[in-house]
Every structure is written in C-alpha cells, then in structure tokens.
Structure 1
Amino acid sequence: MKKSTTGLMLGSALVVGLSGCASSASQTSGQTSSDRAWYQHPAVCGLAGGLIGGGIGFATSSDSDEDSGAAIGSTVGATAGAMLCADRTPEPVEPQCPRYGEVPAGVATDAEGCPLDSDGDGVPDYRDQCPGTPAGVEVDAQGCPLDSDGDGVPDYRDQCPNTPAGAEVNALGCPESLVLRDVNFEFDSARLTPQAEQVLDGVAERLVASPNVRVSIEGHTDSVGSDAYNQQLSQRRAESVVDYLESRGVERNRMRAQGFGEEQPIASNETDAGRAENRRVELDEWE
C-alpha cells in the first residue's frame, strides 16, 4: 500500500475517533470537567489531533518534505483537537436584585429580578413570616409588625403601647379599661373640644386597623348636679365619642355607648382635682 494511502486511512480513522470525542463532549456540556470521560479531556483530544494532523501532513507531503509536513500537521491537529474538546460549559450566573442582591434559586421574582413582596413591607415573600401586613406598617426583619411592649398586640393596633412586661391584656392591648386622657367636652355639654378630637383621631386609626374588635365607650361624670342629669350627660358624651369615631371610619356596629353618670368615681368628689378625674371617657373591649 502506498504511503499516502496509508496516511490518509490512518488520518481518516483518527478523524472519526476525534469527532466522536468532540460530539460526546458537546452532548455532556452540562457536566463539570471532573465528570467528563477520559477521552473527552482536551489533552487526550489534543494528542489525537496531533496524530491526525501528523498523519495527514506526512501523507500529503513529498518525500523530501515528509518531516516538516508531519510536524506542521501535528501542531495544527493538536491545537484543533484540544479546541474541539475544550469545556465550553458557561459558568452559572446567580440572579441579582438591585435591592436584595443575590436571589436564591427557585424564588419567584418580578420584572426586575427581585423576589416578590406581596404586602410591600420591604421583606420578600420567601422570608416574610407575616404576609399580608397592612400598607405603611413598620415591620421587623421577619416582616412582622412591631410589638414594642411584647404583649402580643402589634403597635399599629395597640391602644396601650407601654403595657408592663408580663401583663395580661385584652384585644385592645390594655390590661383594663383605658381612660381617654384629654378627651374633654365644652362646659356642661357633649360637644368635644378640638384637643379631644385630636386624641380620638389616634384611637380611630388603631380601631380601623383592628376590624374584628368591638369596643365599649363609657362616659362618667363627677357628683355635681342630680343623679338623673349626670346619667343623661354621661350618655350623651359617650354617644358623641361614638359619633366622632364613626366619622373617622370605625363601623358603628362595632361600638356601644354607655353612660354611668356619677356611679363609678375613681377619685374623691370633694376636691377639684378629684372631680376632674371623675369626668372622663373610658374605652374598653366589648366582648
């Protein structure tokens, strides 16, 4: 058999083998370099390519150029073989969010590539232990509303935000009836003062945020005047508070007005200071 024919047959056989290696390598491109078969390694493909190139160079050169032809062919073939089997698996790119940085795999994201935050509290859903927090409510790192006094009633609903530690509280966050300080009325009437309305605005805001809580508005007077008159005055004042809270968004069917007149004093009616304490409006849970 002639030299050229032998070289071309050898080269053809090696081309077929190298093509198989490269094809296998491309089919397993999702694997790491350590998972690939030995014959898919660039060094092995480079060696095979060198043999192919050398064989072809030898076979196609004249008798006087056999050595140089084989050397050139070997170099070109080795380079081509190594390139064919090179690992082209792209490096995995972790998704990035401009607000949170790296996003764990499998987490649902929005158009910006950021994790979903359904309640908009700044804590993504996959980390939010209190989903559905009302808009604007300040939350902790777990996405739960702040509860400064730790009584189980979050601050945005707590009518008594400074309850002592360990105290048992009602649904309003209070250990007992809450005296609405500075909720006063014009002299001998049920008309609220401007200062009283400001106080009730805060009460209404927290009640609106507690839609399942019902409350009792209780009016009290001092002992000046007749029992019957004081009873009527305390009832009208309690109803005036209910009217104002309703105007601020609290459903009326969640409130009841009760007037107790002078029946339940909390201080002496013998002094001006004591009578001032007895003229009061209280907020309590209506069970």
Structure 2
Amino acid sequence: MKRSTTGLVLGSALVVGLSGCASSASQSSSAEKPWYSQPFVCGLAGGLIGGGLGYSVSGDSDEDTGASLGAVGGATAGALLCADDAPKSMDDDGDGVPNDRDECPGTPAGVAVDAKGCPLDTDGDGVADYKDQCPGTPAGVTVDAKGCPLDSDGDGVPDYQDQCPNTPAGAKVNALGCVADLVLRDVNFEFDSAKLTANAEKVLNGVAAKLVSNENVRVRVEGHTDSVGSDTYNKQLSQKRADSVKAYLASEGVGSARIETMGYGEEQPVAGNDTSAGRAENRRVELAEVK
C-alpha cells in the first residue's frame, strides 16, 4: 500500500477513534470513565496512530522525524480530546455537596453534613450536632436553642421528666422534680375497691410516661385511707390500692422492679377525719422517690 493511502487510513482512524473516546468521556462526566476514554489511554492511542501517520506521509530521508512529530501530535490530540473539560460544579462552602444540590449553603468549615448539604442532627431535635449541647435527646422532646430539654421551672429536672412542674424558684427537689412526696390527685378507686376509675388511669398515663423517660429513678407507691372501718381492713385495702397502681404503671412500660408498694391504711392522715372533706384528703395515693 502506498504511504499516502496509509496516511489517509491512519488519519481517518485517528479522527474516528479519538472522537469516539472524547464522546465517551463527555457522556461519562457524572460517572466513572471507562478505561478506554481515560486521557492516558487516548494519548497512547493517539501517539501510535499519529506516529504511523507521520511516518506514512514523510519521505525516505525524514521517516524518523515524521514519525516522532506525528506521535507527539497524536498523543497530545488524544489526551486533549479525552480530557474531562465539563464545567466543575461549584461548592462555595466546601462541604462536599455542590451548590446546585446544597439545601443548606454557608455551612461552617469542617461541619459534617448529610447528602443534602445540611449539618447532621443525630437526635432529630432541630439543633445541629455541632451546636447541640445536649446530644441524644429523646424523640419528640421540646428543646431550647442549645438543643437541651426545656426546664420551665428551673429545678434541674427537665419538663418531660418532671412530675411536679411549676416548683417555686430555688426549691430543692428530688429526682421526680418534687419538693416532697407527690400526691397523685384524682387517682381514685371504685367504692370499697382497689379497681381504678377511668379518670385515674388517664392521670397515671402521664405519670408513667415521665417515669419511663426517667429510667434511673425508683419509686414507692403509698396507699392511704380515712379512718372509717377497722384498722386492719383499711391497711389491707390501702395495700391493694397501692398494688393496683403499681400494676397499671407496669402495664404502661415502667419496670415493675423499679416500683415498691406500701399500704399505710389510716396511720398517716393529712387532715381531720371528722369532716367529709378531711376524709377525702386522707383517701389518697402518694408517689415517693426511693434512694
């Protein structure tokens, strides 16, 4: 075959082959390039083809020079054609998420972000981890700007665990958030029975929720009666009522091992038993912390 014909064939091969590589490279800008469209491979192929082209169009006296120049030109052309010249997406805050996908631009340097470019919020309380001074807040708990659970009365027991909200400022409280034993208001029973009323169960639902979240606290349920009836009967009834409250709290997720019970009967009145109002106050259930 004549050198001119060879040159034409190789030149066509160079144009067609490298154009295909370049096309593959541009189509693969958003994914890993195939091996044959890498600039190094394209440059090598271009060098071989260009060298052959240079040789084929040169005279007998300058074969080496023609081949060398063709190889250099072909390699350069191949590498340039396969180079990824697609415009790079900007990432102004340097968090690794391009501006066009970043839903939280302006993230401070070094802050870990999610796929949307937003700072991580591991406990989902609305305060990013890098600002959160109370990580691990339970789901659904209201927090302040620092990511810490609210403590409206400032007693050191957060609202979601506080059995006695609105404690006076400066008062010393126990782990339940109470100054003294908590009288479970409206926790009543059916007449002459240890069966809880429907309203009593509603009250205990709230108590149980806070005890579940305050899992390191152990409590004692104390039953009390008025003086109507014999001492023995009242003591037995108060114990049954305390046990009934424990059983209900346990059914709501409070570990039964965390709850003690004690029936005091009529031994610890808080009011006189000579009036109906006084007797009503004495018929009560209290919740105390066990240290």
TM-score band, normalised by shorter chain: 0.5 to 0.7
**Pairs within 5 Å for 1:20-31:** none
Is the aligned partner of 1:227 residue 2:227? no
Q: CA deviation at 1:93?
A: 1.3
What runs of 5+ residues in structure 1 fail to find an aligned partner? 1-89
What number of residue pairs does the alignment pair up? Answer: 197
Change (3 A) 1:101 1:146: farther
Query: In structure 1, what is the equivalent of residue 190 of structure 2?
Result: 186
- Structure 1 runs of 4+ off > 6 angstroms? none
Task: State the 1:92 CA deviation.
Answer: 7.3
**TM-score by structure 2 length?**
0.66
Which AA in structure 2 matches 1:248? E
Asked if the contact 2:92–2:106 (Cα under 8 Å) also holds between the matched residues in 1, the reply is no
How far apart are the structure 2 equivalents of 1:161 and 1:117? 28
Task: For residues 12-43 of structure 1, give each alpha carbon's deviation from its aligned partner in whole angstroms, at most 9, with x where no partner exists.
Answer: xxxxxxxxxxxxxxxxxxxxxxxxxxxxxxxx
**Identity percentage of aligned residues:** 70
Q: How is 1:155-174 mapped onto 2 (pairs within 5 angstroms)?
A: 155-174=159-178
Match of 1:212 in 2: 216
1:144 aligns with 2:143: no
* Structure with larger Rg: 1
Supply the distance in 2 between the matched residues of 1:153 and 1:231 (Cα, whole angstroms): 34
Counterpart of 1:93 in structure 2 is 92
Residues 114 and 120, structure 2, Cα contact 8 Å, conserved in 1 = yes
Aligned mates of 2:282, 2:129 — CA distance in 1: 50
Taking a change above 3 Å as real, the CA distance of residues 101 and 183 of structure 1, as seen in their structure-2 partners, is farther
Q: Which residue of 2 aligns with 1:279?
A: 283
**Which residue of 235, 246, 249 maps to 2:250?**
246
Letter in 2 for 1:159: Q
Cα deviation, residue 91, structure 1: 8.7
1:190-225 residue CA offsets vs partner (Å, 9 max, x unmatched): 000000000000000000001100001000000000
Structure 1 residues 192, 91: closer, same or farther in 2, change over 3 A? Answer: closer
Residues 233-271 of structure 1: CA distance to partner in whole angstroms, max 9, x if unpaired? Answer: 000000000000000000000000110000000011000
Gaps spanning 5+ residues in structure 2: where? 1-88
| 1:170 CA displacement | 0.2
Shift of 1:120: 0.5
Q: Does the 8 A contact of 2:155 with 2:171 survive in 1?
A: yes
CA RMSD of aligned residues (A): 1.4
- Out of 181, 203, 218, the position equivalent to 2:207 is 203
- Contact kept, 8 Å, 2:234 with 2:265, in 1: the verdict is yes
Correspondence for 1:106? 110
* Cα distance in structure 2, aligned partners of 1:91 and 1:273: 76
